[in-house]
Structure 1
Amino acid sequence: MKKLKNESHSFLDSANGPSLEEINNTVSIPESNSFWKNLLAFSGPGALVAVGYMDPGNWVTSIGGGARYGYLLLSVVLLSSLIAMLLQYMAAKLGIVTEMDLAQATRKYTSKRVGIMLWIVTELAIMATDIAEVIGGAIALNLLFGLPLLVGVILTIFDVLLLLLLMKLGFRKIEAIVMGLIFVILIVFVYEVILAQPNMSHLMSGFLPQKQLLSHGELTMGLGIVGATVMPHNLYLHSSISQTRKYNRKDKEEIAKAVKFSTWDSNIQLTGAFIINCLLLVLGSALFFGQGENLGTFTSLYDALKDPNLAGSVASPILSVLFAVALLASGQNSTITGTLTGQIVMEGFIHMKIPTWARRVITRGLSVIPVLICTIYYGGNEAALDNLLIYSQVFLSIALPISMIPLVYFTSSKKLMGDQFVNPKWVTGLGWFCAIALTGLNIQLIIETLS
């Protein structure tokens, strides 16, 4: 990376202007010292970030992990969520203090060649995320309305219209809609887990790391959960949308206030995402442990929820329908954030601005291609799509260190962040430990897979 110079930044001095210019500095905050009023005003970006931690990719890895390994991988969900909170805190702080998103900062302090390479990897990570949304949305449409998977995949291309409509309503409305859909997902799975009556002692012991995690099967699924939980594209998203609030950007007290309440917002929303991911894994374990090989697809889970032979006395068609509704809500939520992230990454890394609708069509079109090929080649076999989804999540885990390393580096620099906002040494240490540990686990996974 280029050596950081001792300079002050304003949102006008980045190479391509403010991040997400149309919504940057648009949401007013109260002139009040009330904690709750300020928390409410700053709440919203955390919800858009949390969406990435409960998308369809999480579903197949978390429920599948519970069905195959019981409560063992709850410790992975916990550690992933704690890592996510740490990284999202740093991402929001980077955006608020420097008025650059992570893509802009990375491009500014790297060579053009490195910037383009990082852009390509990040775009592939966004595509991997989009693959999960396409598959989840298509399967949900199939379960709810009987549409063939091929038709459902094609229909997901047109969700660009949904985002364009929401953008006209204003960013605050988008945040409210996303939070509403998250609440729907939460209620559905709280209800289903209560009916499943999990073994609480086994459940609590699952939060303690176990030796079995080092074997290949558990490691693959565990890294899939990490990839589905700690999303690299969310670091770019949060560093941008944390700048949507309107405050005095030259006043250090105002900046500190923004960092404080953005952190509160992020941690509260990510706690909600952590609960939902735990519910997914607990549901898979409580109802289907030992049957993981027979429940590897969304359709098999949908059918199992209404089959007394599998789900026992709690089986009900209502549970299946609620499952499909929540799946559809999850896919649509992720669609909104994926589009915004694509715009941030393209403008930040290669300084290219194109209309939102064109960006959405291109991104979704590229993501649909491998899903269409897989659907046509395997004749609409959902198991093949689910395998594609799982490996897309493992790829996200492999791509994560490429986003983590610049983030930790930038937020640990006094020259860039200033004495007041630079990471404390213990935060920097934790950040580097997470990046190194995750990179090591990914290398181990690749070696074992190839051998």
Structure 2
Amino acid sequence: MDHYTHPASQHPSVSTVYPKNLVSVPGRASFWLRRFLAFVGPGYMVAVGYMDPGNWATDLQGGAEFGYTLLFAILLSNIMAVILQALSARLGIVTGHDLAQACREWLPGWLRMPLWFTCELAIIACDLAEVIGTAVALQLLFGFPILLGTVISVFDVFLVLLLMRWGFRALEAFVMTLLGIIAVCFGIQLVASSPEVGEILKGFLPSSQLITNSDMLYVAIGIVGATVMPHNLYLHSSLVQSRDYERTYDGRKEALRWATWDSTIALTLALFINAAILIVAAAAFYRTGHHDVAEISDAWRLLSPILGFGLASTLFAVALLAAGTNSTVTGTLAGQIVMEGFLHLRLPYWARRLVTRGLAVLPVLIIVGFYGQGKVGALLVFSQIVLSMQLPFAIIPLVMFVSSRKIMGAFRLSRPWIIVSWVVVAIIVGLNLKLLNDAVIG
């Protein structure tokens, strides 16, 4: 099993991307919970991407227009996300390469630049959603104009720099704290909305309406297509290497088990939050006849009056600001990982962040300046379409790598899991192509 020691020993991403030394792992004689907690963190960093403003928009629309029926789409997308993130962790732990480095190492050279370019587009598109979410949250909480909120969002680079000075565990703690705030905010709103438990359980079951109702199918595709973020696969395959586990067969086997549990539990939290957004929308808007609520600002305006709970709208906006701020941290790391992995090029964090955020801010400033803030929602949808276009370029190489005996050795996926993985790829690619085709034609 020494075959696995040589690639990881180089630690190609750990030595440059992470702000401090590897996170220590207690010895094998330690209690299992202590060892597991040492691996907790990367999954929550990744979970941030599963509750960005793009998800909020589709969840709100689904709940307001169709009630609880589309909870099944959220559940299905979350199951596929759990599988893909587990594959991403497997690649990083076993080979010592993140997905970007693996593409550079094991794919033909002519593919390197196109893959890097599409990935950068996806990161900018994701950053665009963060800019919009942060600007809208600042407007809802403090009355700032969208343009001012957009400009303020550029300065989050200083927050990232400060956190990186404190070390990688500080980054993870910050992200997990904000995720906790989001969960608490929606937990309170969930209780205040008094949803029908029976209808919720029924919503998690597949319904024939998903096929027969074309409008419902379109929103369902939007929910699935906006859930799995391409940059998360690059990010996770790198973050799992931040732990100081033994680079041996047994060490990797244990690291893989704990990393999979970490991401699965974290994505279960993401499932709760996405489901809570849809459930609150269904209970507050669908039940009261407000079926046309699709904009985040409309949901904020109506929540408190409908629920009769004065803090409902405030909690909604706080959660949105926390989601946008969280994505800042993971977006910076993902951008650095992708650039280093594909190009062996490293920029200072502040420069990398300002370039990406600047490219994301520009279209917001142009659209709002010329057409007003009413077009911000359309720009948010556009960012999700760009993400959908890039997704196949991330998941297809990932499944190819983890299915290869030459690359993975004894850690190669079993035949049943290879079949399951390609089925997931086929579903996601098919749904994203359908979403893209409908969006272009529409």
Which of the five TM-score ranges fits, normalised by the shorter chain?
A: over 0.9
Aligned position for 1:385:
376
Looking at structure 1, the residues matched to 92 and 230 of structure 2 have their Cα atoms a distance apart, in angstroms, of 16
- 1:261–1:8 CA distance, 2 compared to 1 (3 A): closer
How far residue 211 of structure 1 moved from its aligned partner, in angstroms, is 3.0
Q: Is the 8 A contact 1:72 1:207 kept in 2?
A: yes
Residue correspondence of structure 1 range 414-429 to structure 2 within 5 A: 414-419=405-410, 421-429=411-419
Looking at structure 1, the residues matched to 394 and 111 of structure 2 have their Cα atoms a distance apart, in angstroms, of 13
Q: Is the 8 A contact 1:302 1:323 kept in 2?
A: yes
Aligned position for 2:155:
158
Q: Is the 8 A contact 2:88 2:236 kept in 1?
A: yes
User: Does residue 109 in structure 1 map to residue 106 in structure 2?
Assistant: yes
User: Does residue 143 in structure 1 map to residue 137 in structure 2?
Assistant: no
Q: Is the 8 A contact 1:27 1:244 kept in 2?
A: yes
Looking at structure 2, the residues matched to 7 and 241 of structure 1 have their Cα atoms a distance apart, in angstroms, of 18
Aligned position for 1:123:
120
Q: Is the 8 A contact 1:225 1:393 kept in 2?
A: no
User: Does residue 443 in structure 1 map to residue 433 in structure 2?
Assistant: yes
Looking at structure 2, the residues matched to 355 and 377 of structure 1 have their Cα atoms a distance apart, in angstroms, of 34
User: Does residue 321 in structure 1 map to residue 314 in structure 2?
Assistant: yes
Looking at structure 1, the residues matched to 416 and 48 of structure 2 have their Cα atoms a distance apart, in angstroms, of 28
Residue correspondence of structure 1 range 172-191 to structure 2 within 5 A: 172-191=169-188
Match of 2:25 among 29, 33, 57: 29
How far residue 189 of structure 1 moved from its aligned partner, in angstroms, is 0.6
How far residue 394 of structure 1 moved from its aligned partner, in angstroms, is 3.4
Q: Is the 8 A contact 1:125 1:233 kept in 2?
A: yes
- 1:53–1:19 CA distance, 2 compared to 1 (3 A): farther
Q: Is the 8 A contact 1:142 1:149 kept in 2?
A: yes
How far residue 7 of structure 1 moved from its aligned partner, in angstroms, is 8.8
Aligned position for 1:239:
237
How far residue 292 of structure 1 moved from its aligned partner, in angstroms, is 3.2
Aligned position for 2:389:
398
Aligned position for 1:291:
290
- 1:446–1:185 CA distance, 2 compared to 1 (3 A): closer
SS at match of 2:304: coil
What letter corresponds to residue 129 of structure 1 in structure 2? C
- 1:167–1:276 CA distance, 2 compared to 1 (3 A): same
- 1:174–1:13 CA distance, 2 compared to 1 (3 A): closer
Looking at structure 1, the residues matched to 438 and 132 of structure 2 have their Cα atoms a distance apart, in angstroms, of 27
CA RMSD of aligned residues (A): 1.9
Aligned position for 2:59:
62
Q: Is the 8 A contact 2:74 2:275 kept in 1?
A: yes
SS at match of 2:413: coil
Residue correspondence of structure 1 range 300-315 to structure 2 within 5 A: 300-307=298-305, 311=306, 314-315=307-308
Looking at structure 1, the residues matched to 174 and 261 of structure 2 have their Cα atoms a distance apart, in angstroms, of 20
SS at match of 1:28: coil
Looking at structure 2, the residues matched to 124 and 19 of structure 1 have their Cα atoms a distance apart, in angstroms, of 26
- 1:400–1:235 CA distance, 2 compared to 1 (3 A): same
Q: Is the 8 A contact 1:153 1:372 kept in 2?
A: yes
SS at match of 1:343: helix
Deviation string for 1:91-129 (max 9, x for gaps)? 011101100000000111223331111111111111111
How far residue 240 of structure 1 moved from its aligned partner, in angstroms, is 0.3
Q: Is the 8 A contact 2:222 2:435 kept in 1?
A: no
User: Does residue 338 in structure 1 map to residue 331 in structure 2?
Assistant: yes
In structure 2, list runs of 5 or more residues that go unmatched: none
Q: Is the 8 A contact 1:92 1:238 kept in 2?
A: yes
How far residue 23 of structure 1 moved from its aligned partner, in angstroms, is 4.4
Q: Is the 8 A contact 2:13 2:337 kept in 1?
A: no
Residue correspondence of structure 1 range 88-107 to structure 2 within 5 A: 88-107=85-104
Looking at structure 1, the residues matched to 372 and 113 of structure 2 have their Cα atoms a distance apart, in angstroms, of 37
Q: Is the 8 A contact 2:225 2:428 kept in 1?
A: no
- 1:395–1:17 CA distance, 2 compared to 1 (3 A): closer
Aligned position for 2:348:
355
TM-score of the two chains, using structure 2 as the length reference: 0.94
What letter corresponds to residue 115 of structure 2 in structure 1? L
Looking at structure 2, the residues matched to 194 and 103 of structure 1 have their Cα atoms a distance apart, in angstroms, of 43
How far residue 178 of structure 1 moved from its aligned partner, in angstroms, is 0.8
What letter corresponds to residue 89 of structure 1 in structure 2? A
Q: Is the 8 A contact 1:127 1:367 kept in 2?
A: yes
Match of 2:166 among 153, 166, 169: 169
- 1:243–1:13 CA distance, 2 compared to 1 (3 A): closer
SS at match of 1:377: helix
Residue correspondence of structure 1 range 192-271 to structure 2 within 5 A: 192-214=189-211, 215-249=213-247, 251-271=248-268
- 1:335–1:216 CA distance, 2 compared to 1 (3 A): farther
What letter corresponds to residue 328 of structure 2 in structure 1? T
What letter corresponds to residue 189 of structure 2 in structure 1? E
Deviation string for 1:220-241 (max 9, x for gaps)? 3223222332111100000000
Aligned position for 1:3:
none
SS at match of 1:53: helix
Looking at structure 1, the residues matched to 113 and 329 of structure 2 have their Cα atoms a distance apart, in angstroms, of 25
What letter corresponds to residue 249 of structure 2 in structure 1? K
Deviation string for 1:328-368 (max 9, x for gaps)? 01100011001100001111112211111100000000011
SS at match of 1:209: coil
TM-score of the two chains, using structure 1 as the length reference: 0.92
Aligned position for 2:357:
364
Deviation string for 1:274-329 (max 9, x for gaps)? 11111011011111014232x2222211110122xxx1xx3233111111111101
Deviation string for 1:353-385 (max 9, x for gaps)? 11111000000000111111111122232xx11
- 1:198–1:228 CA distance, 2 compared to 1 (3 A): same
Deviation string for 1:381-424 (max 9, x for gaps)? 2xx111221232233233222211111110111111111x1112
Q: Is the 8 A contact 2:402 2:412 kept in 1?
A: yes
Aligned position for 1:410:
401
